[in-house]
Amino acid sequence: MNAVVNTQFDFPGMTGVYHGKVRDVYTIKDELMVMVTTDRISAFDVVLPVGIPYKGAVLNLIASKFLDATSDIVPNWKMATPDPMVTIGKYAEPFKVEMVIRGYLSGHAWREYRSGKRAICGVPMPEGMKENDRFPEPLLTPTTKAVVGHDEDISREEILKQGLVSEADYLKLEDYTRRLFQRGTEMAAERGLILVDTKYEFGKVGDEIVLIDEIHTPDSSRYFYKEGYQDRQDKGETQKQLSKEFVREWLMEHGFQGKEGQQMPNMPESFVKSVSDRYIELYEGITGEVFDRFDPADANARVEKNIRDFLNAYYR
In a domain, residue 212? The reply is yes
Q: Looking at the structure, do residues 189 and 308 belong to the same domain, yes or no?
A: no
At 49-74, the pLDDT tens digits run: 999 999 999 999 999 999 999 999 99
pLDDT at 244: 77
Q: Looking at the structure, do residues 195 and 56 belong to the same domain, yes or no?
A: no
In a domain, residue 308? The reply is yes
In a domain, residue 250? The reply is no
Q: Looking at the structure, do residues 175 and 118 belong to the same domain, yes or no?
A: yes
pLDDT at 100: 98
pLDDT at 149: 58
In a domain, residue 233? The reply is yes
Instruction: Report the domain count for the chain.
Output: 2
What is the domain extent for residue 230? 94-243
Q: Looking at the structure, do residues 99 and 41 belong to the same domain, yes or no?
A: no
- List the CATH number of the domain containing 157: 3.30.470.20
In a domain, residue 299? The reply is yes
Q: Looking at the structure, do residues 235 and 284 belong to the same domain, yes or no?
A: no
Q: Looking at the structure, do residues 177 and 103 belong to the same domain, yes or no?
A: yes
Q: Looking at the structure, do residues 110 and 202 belong to the same domain, yes or no?
A: yes
- List the CATH number of the domain containing 277: 3.30.200.20
Q: Looking at the structure, do residues 234 and 103 belong to the same domain, yes or no?
A: yes
Q: pLDDT truncated to tens, each residue of the chain (316 aa)? A: 588 999 999 999 999 999 998 999 999 999 999 999 999 999 888 899 999 999 999 999 999 999 999 999 999 999 999 999 999 999 999 999 999 999 999 999 999 999 999 999 999 999 999 999 999 999 999 999 866 556 799 999 999 999 999 999 999 999 999 999 999 999 999 999 999 999 999 999 999 999 999 999 988 999 999 999 999 999 999 998 877 778 988 999 999 998 999 999 999 999 999 999 988 988 998 899 999 998 877 889 999 999 999 999 999 8
Q: Looking at the structure, do residues 88 and 192 belong to the same domain, yes or no?
A: no
In a domain, residue 211? The reply is yes
Is the pTM for the entire model greater than 0.85?
A: yes
Q: Looking at the structure, do residues 20 and 136 belong to the same domain, yes or no?
A: no
In a domain, residue 148? The reply is yes
**Per-residue three-class SS string for the chain:** CCCCCCCCCCCCCEEEEEECCCEEEEEECCCEEEEEECCCCEECCEECCCCCCCHHHHHHHHHHHHHHHCCCCCCECEEEEEECCEEEEECCEECCEEEEEEEECCHHHHHHHHCCCCEECCEECCCCCCCCCEEEEEEECCEECCCCCCCCECCHHHHHHHCCCCHHHHHHHHHHHHHHHHHHHHHHHHCCEEEEEEEEEEEEECCEEEEECCCCCCCCEEEEECCCHHHHHHHCCCCCEEECHHHHHHHHHCCCCCCCCCCCCCCCHHHHHHHHHHHHHHHHHHHCCCCCCCCHHHHHHHHHHHHHHHHHHHCC
